[in-house]
């Protein structure tokens, strides 16, 4: 009877084989010298394993498979862990919609409204636990609602962006059961980009400082000037006589309903782009207190030179401190020229020393955490030093922010986790 390897004292030979391969990767061991054929077949004279019995061959196969599987699972687990870590900033919420969402406005802690393509408007009254699909305004089934602004759970306005009469504003006062058309763009070459209202009292000196029904409706240039309409104390929309002049091939962007920021009645800041941009334009009343001086033209160090580049979003936390974000939406991963900051009310801008990781379409100030948060198609970022440097929060695909919410394509809605950002 043929003796086993153990009986013949072959343990050192087996141990030597394992030791000699212990420093190799699983792939190298797997593929070395047609190992499997040598183990399963008695290839006499070509490998010491021909001396092993079948039981030992099966055992060795089990060991090798276990090691390889462990390495593969470890790699997968590491990748999943990294991806989970990168996406922990936002708690995903079921929207029950597949629309490309570009508008979001939070009203207090529980009420929020979102909007997007194909006449989509969504609403929540419980912090995003349930998002209700609103009735579509008559004739708006194909409109792209790029902007939404709400005052409570019942009252909101939605702005659609599109050429000519596809740019419209609708209003609801019964929780989006019914809508009425407020206005539409009569300029055949017009295109509305944003509809924004005053969010707080900024302490402007002199005269009426405005309220939450003081707003600006911004559109691309017509007749050489940015199409700017204002609402004062809920009355409007009136064409602003002091609307800012535009350069050739200059426009505003409708990516997130944040290309204009409102400080008060006819006091606003506009971010521009396109081949004629980028610039930041400060309205005449904001700068001079009257109409005599015209708008102030401020240079901003963001991406330039193409129709897809420039300032996409503006936000201020007070009269002095603000952030502009953007870049080139066709170069989503290009971090150059994606963020700048100001400490003098928008008159001068400085590029971020450490910018976000790519194109950013929206930025917002987090009053609770005292940080800035920006988002775009390759993720979101946070700045703890007034926009001078940015750190990644996640790698999701986003369009717009109204904290604590963020929205994106495919009906994506996220809510910022309470422990996501440490000051």
Write the pLDDT tens digit of every residue in 328-367.
999 999 999 999 999 999 999 999 999 999 999 999 999 9
pLDDT of residue 39: 40
- For 3-58, how does the pLDDT look when each residue is reduced to its tens digit (9 = 90+)? 333 333 333 333 343 344 434 433 343 344 444 344 444 444 444 444 446 555 55
Residues 79 and 138 in one domain: no
In a domain, 3, yes or no: no
Residues 318 and 274 in one domain: yes
Residues 320 and 282 in one domain: yes
Last residue of a domain, one of 66, 86, 106: 86
Residues 276, 220: Cα–Cα separation, whole Å: 12
Residues 80 and 111 in one domain: no
Q: What's the mean pLDDT in 374-400?
A: 98
Supply 16's token pair: 């030597």
- CATH label of the domain that carries residue 235: 2.130.10.10
Chain centroid to Cα 178, Å, comes to: 30
Query: For the chain, how many structural domains are there in total?
Result: 2
- Counting every residue written for the chain, the total comes to 423
204: Cβ–Cβ under 8 A, 6 or more apart, which residues?
A: 210, 263, 264, 267, 319
In a domain, 421, yes or no: no
Residues 81 and 101 in one domain: no
Residues 70 and 144 in one domain: no
Rounded to a whole number of angstroms, the distance between the first and last alpha carbons of the chain is: 76
Distances (CA, A) of 302 to 148, 274, 305, 327, 337: 26, 11, 10, 6, 4
Residues 344, 273: Cα–Cα separation, whole Å: 21
Residues 50 and 129 in one domain: no
- Report the DSSP beta bridge partners of residue 406: 401, 414
pLDDT of residue 60: 55
In a domain, 111, yes or no: yes
Q: Which residue has the higher pLDDT, 281 or 76?
A: 281
In a domain, 26, yes or no: yes
pLDDT of residue 209: 80
Residues 80 and 97 in one domain: no
Last residue of a domain, one of 70, 86, 102: 86
Range of the domain at 239: 93-416
- For 76-111, how does the pLDDT look when each residue is reduced to its tens digit (9 = 90+)? 444 333 343 445 899 999 999 999 999 999 998 799
In a domain, 334, yes or no: yes
Residues 198 and 334 in one domain: yes
Residues 54 and 177 in one domain: no
Residues 377, 375: Cα–Cα separation, whole Å: 7
Residues 52 and 143 in one domain: no
**Mean pLDDT computed over every residue of the chain:** 85
pLDDT of residue 66: 62
Distances (CA, A) of 143 to 118, 168, 170, 265: 5, 9, 11, 29
Could you tell me the pLDDT band of residue 205, with boundaries at 50, 70 and 90?
low
* Closest of 105, 107, 184, 106 to residue 148, by C-alpha: 105
Residues 392, 355: Cα–Cα separation, whole Å: 10
pLDDT of residue 4: 38
Asked whether the predicted pLDDT for residue 211 surpasses 60, the reply is yes
| CB 145 within 8 Å of CB 121 | yes
Last residue of a domain, one of 51, 86, 121: 86
Asked whether the predicted pLDDT for residue 375 surpasses 50, the reply is yes
pLDDT of residue 125: 98
In a domain, 6, yes or no: no
Q: Which residue has the higher pLDDT, 384 or 68?
A: 384
Residues 207, 184: Cα–Cα separation, whole Å: 31
In a domain, 271, yes or no: yes
In a domain, 360, yes or no: yes
What pTM was computed for the model? 0.80
Residues 37 and 115 in one domain: no
Supply 296's token pair: 């102030």
């Amino acid at each position: 009877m043929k003796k086993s390897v153990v009986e013949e004292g072959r343990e050192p030979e087996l141990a030597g084989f394992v030791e000699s391969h212990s420093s190799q990767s699983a792939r190298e061991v797997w593929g070395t010298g047609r190992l499997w054929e040598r183990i399963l077949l008695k290839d006499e004279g070509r490998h010491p394993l021909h001396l092993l019995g079948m039981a030992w061959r099966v055992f060795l196969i089990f060991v090798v498979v276990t090691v390889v599987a462990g390495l593969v699972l470890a790699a997968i687990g590491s990748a999943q862990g990294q991806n989970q870590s990168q996406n922990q900033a936002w708690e995903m919420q079921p929207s029950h919609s597949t629309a490309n969402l570009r508008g979001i406005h939070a009203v207090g802690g529980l009420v929020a409204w979102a909007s997007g393509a194909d006449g989509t408007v969504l609403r929540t009254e419980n912090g995003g636990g349930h998002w209700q699909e609103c009735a579509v305004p008559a004739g708006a089934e194909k409109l792209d609602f790029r902007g939404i602004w709400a005052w409570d759970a019942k009252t909101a306005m939605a702005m659609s962006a599109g050429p000519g009469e596809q740019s419209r504003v609708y209003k609801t006062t019964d929780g989006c059961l019914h809508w009425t058309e407020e206005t539409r763009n009569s300029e055949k070459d017009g295109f509305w980009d944003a509809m924004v209202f005053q969010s707080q009292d900024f302490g402007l000196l002199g005269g009426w400082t405005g309220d939450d029904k003081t707003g600006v409706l911004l559109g691309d240039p017509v007749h050489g000037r940015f199409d700017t309409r204002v609402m004062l104390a809920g009355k409007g929309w009136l064409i602003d006589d002091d609307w800012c002049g535009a350069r050739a091939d200059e426009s505003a962007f409708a990516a997130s309903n944040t290309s204009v920021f409102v400080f008060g009645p006819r006091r606003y800041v506009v971010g521009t782009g396109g081949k004629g941009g980028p610039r930041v334009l400060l309205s005449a009343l904001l700068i001079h207190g009257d109409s005599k001086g015209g708008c102030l033209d401020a240079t901003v160090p963001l991406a330039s030179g193409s129709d897809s580049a420039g300032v996409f979003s503006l936000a201020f936390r007070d009269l002095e401190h603000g952030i502009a974000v953007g870049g080139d939406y066709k170069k989503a991963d290009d971090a150059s020229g994606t963020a700048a900051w100001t400490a003098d009310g928008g008159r001068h801008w400085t590029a971020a020393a450490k910018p976000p990781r790519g194109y950013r379409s929206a930025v917002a100030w987090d009053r609770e955490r005292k940080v800035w948060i920006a988002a775009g198609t390759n993720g979101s970022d946070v700045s703890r030093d007034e926009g001078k440097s940015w750190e990644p929060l996640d790698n999701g695909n986003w369009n717009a922010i109204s904290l604590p919410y963020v929205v994106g394509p495919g009906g994506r809605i996220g809510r910022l986790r309470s422990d996501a950002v440490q000051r």
